Amino acid sequence: METWELWFPAAAANGLLFARSRIDARDAVWVHSPPEVLSVVVRDGEAGILSKADELRREGPRFPMARLQREGMSIRREDRWPVKNDIGALVILPGGEAGELKSWWNADNGSEWRWQLEFYNHV
């Protein structure tokens, strides 16, 4: 298990926690409705830092989703629409709930989109 901490560093005096999600280890996640600037820390079960990135800025037009890709100790942000190959990926929502992307559709002009997530919990 890993903990993905997503911060909005430009808010308040010291930034605000956008989402914290404890998930199975993976190299990439999607984030729904991320802020313009995002800092990310990925921790292992012992709170050690596995990867991190400071101030990942949105580049280009605003999309409702961003893909975060781990590359060794760093993380890359890519703001874009999900495509067919992204179905099955994990999406972290504001607050930290995480679900599997089951379907995605968007209008070519970006004026509308439809998507489905599936959530599973085990205690």
Query: Would the pLDDT of 42 be above 80?
Result: yes
How would you class 86 by CB atoms within 10 Å of its CB: exposed for 0-12, middle for 13-18, buried for 19 or more? middle
Residue 123 lies in a domain: no
Q: Which two tokens stand for residue 95?
A: 């607050």
Structural domain harbouring 90:
2-118
How many percent of the chain have pLDDT more than 90?
85
Q: State the total domains in the chain.
A: 1
Per-residue pLDDT of 14-24, as tens digits, reads 889 999 999 99
52-65 core/surface letters (b: 16 or more CB in 10 A; e: else): ebeebeeeeeebeb
Residue type, 55: E
| pLDDT, mean of residues 32-38 | 96
Query: Would the pLDDT of 85 be above 80?
Result: yes
In the chain the first and final C-alpha atoms are separated, in Å, by 14
